[in-house]
Structures are given as C-alpha cells and as structure tokens.
C-alpha cells in the first residue's frame, strides 16, 4: 500500500515535488506548447497553416535553447524516483529536438503536395517528441512505459495519416498490432522484475539485482524486457514491422520513425539495461550478441534484394541497430559512449537519406524506387554528391563520420576482448557496402529515365546541403559530437 500511496496525486503534490518541477521544465514547456499548437491550429485554415508549422518549429528551437541553458552534468532524480535529469538525457533530448526540427523542415513541401499539410502532423509529432523526452528521462518502469506508449500511439496515428491510402492503413495496422504485442511483452517482463525485486524504480531494482543475480524470475523478466526493447529498436528477430512500416507510411512519416525515436529507444535501452539491470549484464550480453549478429546479417543481406529505397533503408536501419547493440553489449562505459555516438550519427545520416527521397519526390511521384535515382549526377550533380556522402557514410567509408561511428564501436568491442565479434561485424559491413554502392552506381553510372530538373523547396535544399556537409565535416573532426558524448557518459 505504501507503494501505491507514493503514486497518488495527493502524495505527489507535496513541497518537495513542486521544488523539483524546474527539472522537468523542457517536458512542461513541450506539453504546453503542443497543446497550444493543437488549439491554435483549430483557428487556422489551409492557407494559414504556416502558423502551425512555424509555431512547432519555434517550440523545438526554444526547447533546444532551454535545454542548453539548463544543461547539467549532475544527475538529479525527482518525483519520487520516477524521473531523472542527467547529462546523457539532456544531450539526447537536444538531438531529438534538432532531428525533429529537420524532419518537419524536410517534410513540409512533401506534405503540401499530398494534401497532408495539416495540423495533426505537427501536433502528433510534438506529442511524440514529448513521449521521447519522457522515455529519455524515465527512471521508473512506469515512466518508461508512459513515454513509450505516448510515442508509439502518436506514431501509429502518423502512419495512418494518409487515410485513403490502403498501404498506409495496412502498415499502421501492422505497426499497431505488433507494437501492442511488444508493449505487452515489455510490461510482462517488468511485472516479473517487479515481482522479484519489489520495486519499479530502476535504482532500487539495480540494488536488489546485485544482491541476487541468479534469480530465475529476474532473468525471465529480463528476456521479456529485452524483447520489448529489441522491438522498439528494430533488432532481429523483432524487426518484421520495420520494412513494412517504412515502405507503407508516407515518406514524411517514415523519416520521423526512422530518426528521432531511435535516440529515445537507445536511451530506453540504456536506462533499462544499464541503470536498472546492470547486475544481469552477463545474461543480457549474450542475448545482445545474438541479436546484434543476427541484425547485422539479416539487415545487410536482405537489403541487397530490395528495389524500394525506403525498404532498403529499413534493412539498413536493422543493420545499424546491430552495431548500436554491439556497443551496449560490451557493458562498459566505452561501449555505451560509442553506441550513443553511433545512434546520433546514424540519425543524422538517416535524416539525409530520407530527405533526399523527399527532395526528389513531387506531386504524384514518390521517388521511392531505387531506379528513380538513376542518373541523378546528370540532373543535379550537387545533390548526387550529397547522397553519395550519405551512402558512403552509412557504408562506413572514411572520411565521412559514419566511419568514426563504426570505428568507435569496433574499438569498444575489441577492448572488451571480443575481437572475433569485431571481425564478424566488419564482414557484414562489407556485404552492406554493396547496396550503398548500388545507389551510387545508379546515380553516377546510369543515364536518367527523365531529364527534367528537380524542383525542391529552397529551405529543403539548404538544409539537405547542410546535412550532407555536416556528415563530411564531422568526418574530419568527429570529436565535436564524440567529445560531447564522452563528457556526459
């Protein structure tokens, strides 16, 4: 009963809680702004929809400022151990805002051309960001679940945003059903762990786990929790939803699903496995190894067979998740740092690749076939070059930043005395290089199917160029991000 009392509203609103409110300032601002955007949008029509867009973008930028201003390395736990504010969380949140900002910017003209330029996209997007923020800052099973569901529900709705598209509805359904099952698994695992430790707070759980690592109920719970985590990350064998959802959802939504939530999923994994269940790391290490190697294998090999670029990117995501898991698998600080670096770098690359699809698309033309990239070098040499940067970076070829991300992971894996695993990972990344090369081949070596110039909105063009240059520039000096990541870990 004591436990329930702790979560009752009356108990929550004591003086201590109120004094801790500033810690959750970004979340509070986000909630308020998302609600304001929702209301403001009611008074706007299609002509004045720009207001919603600008307000959403302003919110994200304001949150960047707020989080940077209140940035803290110090770990403070608030609200009866349900919420944590630390450097890792702050940094990840900043990247979530930046990534979402870029997503909104890239997708504006795409949405306009498809009669999807509605307030719902932005409101759902902002609430999804709120969900991610809660996930990142969660320090309790309930908060993790709360954040995860807030994010997922928004995502399900976003996928179904194109109501009259059969394929979009199908993927939304698929996403929802599988997502619900995964959430169920996660909850089941959490209840097991609660049963074994008597607590939902990660810190308490960790202390309990340390006392008795052989508890079979705990390990049972761990397996289910890991299933939930793997589903959200998109790791094999829980990856089935990813290609279908990427392909089925409008590109403007696919780019969102493929970017920012990965950061949140990484944070969730870290919170659960490291903050909460570090005592069981011998057990989860083995499970992660299997899932990571399977993800690398399936992701890279199956991607070769794809003709739809969104589907190909989905499989490429799966293989990248394999790398991210390898870093976490080391159960050492160096590995966590490398994984976090990899996650951030990956989202920047994924943004660019999806951004390119939206840049090439226009009214009535999705440009999501590989063949649509044929001869891009003749139509637009600059953007062919930008896409080349993204592809080589994803393949892990220097001097682009993707190489440094892979190098950090490999370094952590080798440092953990698992050189064979590093060798396995590089072998699969060679296989992966093939399908990235194929895109470059299409762009540079083939002749275009059509020669019309590509019309892209100028803000999209500028941002996409910046995105590409960032990948190249960070390749020369990855310490800009790596230094930040190291400082908060």
**What are the residues binding other proteins (CB under 8 A)?**
334, 337-338, 377, 381, 388, 392, 397-399, 403-404, 407-408, 410-412, 414-415, 419, 422-423, 426-427, 429-430, 433-434, 437-438, 440-441, 444-445, 477-479, 482-483, 486
Q: Which helix (H) or strand (E) holds 85?
A: strand 83-85
d(CA 298, CA 296): 6
**Closest approach of other proteins to the CB of residue 430, in Å:** 5
Residue number with CB closer to other proteins (76 or 419) = 419
CB of 378 to other proteins, least distance (A): 9
Show the tokens assigned to 142. Answer: 């309930």
Q: What does the alpha-carbon distance between residue 468 and residue 176 come to, in Å, rounded to a whole number? A: 33
Of 295 and 429, the one with the shorter C-beta distance to other proteins is 429
Q: What is the SS3 assignment for 83?
A: strand
Smallest distance from other proteins to CB 411, Å: 5
Nearer to other proteins, 25 or 397 (CB): 397
Residue 154 vs 391, nearer CB to other proteins = 391
**Backbone phi and psi for residue 140, each to the nearest 5 degrees, phi listed first:** -150, 145
Give the whole-angstrom CA distance, residue 447 versus residue 466. Answer: 27
Q: In the numeric block, which tokens belong to residue 297?
A: 């294998």
Q: Which is nearer to other proteins, 58 or 477 (CB)?
A: 477
Least separation in angstroms between residue 397's CB and other proteins is 5
Residues 210, 323, 231, 433: what is their CA dihedral angle, to the nearest 10 degrees?
Answer: -170
Kindly tell me the number of DSSP H helices and DSSP E strands found in the chain. 23, 2
Q: Which of 290, 286, 287, 412 is nearest to 342 (CA)?
A: 412
**Residue 447 CB: number of other CB atoms within 10 A?**
8
Question: Minimum distance between the CB of residue 366 and other proteins, rounded to whole angstroms?
Answer: 26
Residue 74: CB minimum distance to other proteins, A = 23
Residue 241 or residue 342: which is nearer to other proteins going by CB?
342
Distance of closest approach, residue 414 Cβ to other proteins, in angstroms: 5
φ and ψ at residue 201, rounded to 5 degrees = -80, 135
Quick one: 28 or 431, whose CB is closer to other proteins? 431
**What kind and span of H or E run contains 473?**
helix 458-476
3-state secondary structure of 382: helix
């Amino acid at each position: 009963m004591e436990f329930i009392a702790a979560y009752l509203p009356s108990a929550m609103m004591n003086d201590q809680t109120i004094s801790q409110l500033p810690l959750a300032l970004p979340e509070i601002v986000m909630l308020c702004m998302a609600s304001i955007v929702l209301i403001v949008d009611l008074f706007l029509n299609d002509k004045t929809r720009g207001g919603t867009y600008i307000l959403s973008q302003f919110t994200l930028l304001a949150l960047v400022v707020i989080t940077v201003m209140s940035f803290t390395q110090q770990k403070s736990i608030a609200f009866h151990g349900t919420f944590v504010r630390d450097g890792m969380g702050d940094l990840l949140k900043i990247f979530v805002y930046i990534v979402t900002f870029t997503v909104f910017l890239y997708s504006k003209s795409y949405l306009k051309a498809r009669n999807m330029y509605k307030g719902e996209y932005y409101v759902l997007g902002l609430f999804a960001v709120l969900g991610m923020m809660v996930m990142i800052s969660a320090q309790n099973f309930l908060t993790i679940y709360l954040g995860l569901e807030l994010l997922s529900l928004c995502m399900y709705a976003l996928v179904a945003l194109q109501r009259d598209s059969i394929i979009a509805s199908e993927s939304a359904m698929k996403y929802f059903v599988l997502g619900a099952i995964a959430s169920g698994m996660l909850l089941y695992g959490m209840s097991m762990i609660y049963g074994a430790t008597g607590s939902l707070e990660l810190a308490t759980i960790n202390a309990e786990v340390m006392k008795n690592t052989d508890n079979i109920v705990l390990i049972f719970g761990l397996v289910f929790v890991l299933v939930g985590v793997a589903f959200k990350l998109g790791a094999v064998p829980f990856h089935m939803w990813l290609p279908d959802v990427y392909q089925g959802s409008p590109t403007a939504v696919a780019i969102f699903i493929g970017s920012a939530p990965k950061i949140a999923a990484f944070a969730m994994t870290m919170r659960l496995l490291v903050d909460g269940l570090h005592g069981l790391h011998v057990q989860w290490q083995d499970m992660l190894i299997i899932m990571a190697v399977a993800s690398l294998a399936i992701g890279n090999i199956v991607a070769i067979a794809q003709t739809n670029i969104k589907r190909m990117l989905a499989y490429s995501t799966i293989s990248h998740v394999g790398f991210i898991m390898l870093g976490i698998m080391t159960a050492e600080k160096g590995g966590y740092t490398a994984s976090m670096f990899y996650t951030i770098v990956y989202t920047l690359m994924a943004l660019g690749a999806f951004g390119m699809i939206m840049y090439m698309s226009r009214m009535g033309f999705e440009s999501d076939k590989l063949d649509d990239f044929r001869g891009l070098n003749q139509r637009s040499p600059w953007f062919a070059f930008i896409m080349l940067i993204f592809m080589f970076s994803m393949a892990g070829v220097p001097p682009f930043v993707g190489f440094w991300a892979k190098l950090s992971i490999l370094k952590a894996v080798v440092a953990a005395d698992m050189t064979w695993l590093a060798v396995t990972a590089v072998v699969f990344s060679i296989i992966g290089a093939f399908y990235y090369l194929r895109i470059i081949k299409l762009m540079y070596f083939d002749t275009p199917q059509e020669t019309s110039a590509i019309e892209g909105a100028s803000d999209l063009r500028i941002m996409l160029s910046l995105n590409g240059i960032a990948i190249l520039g960070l390749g020369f000096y990855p310490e800009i991000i790596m230094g930040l990541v190291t400082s908060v870990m």
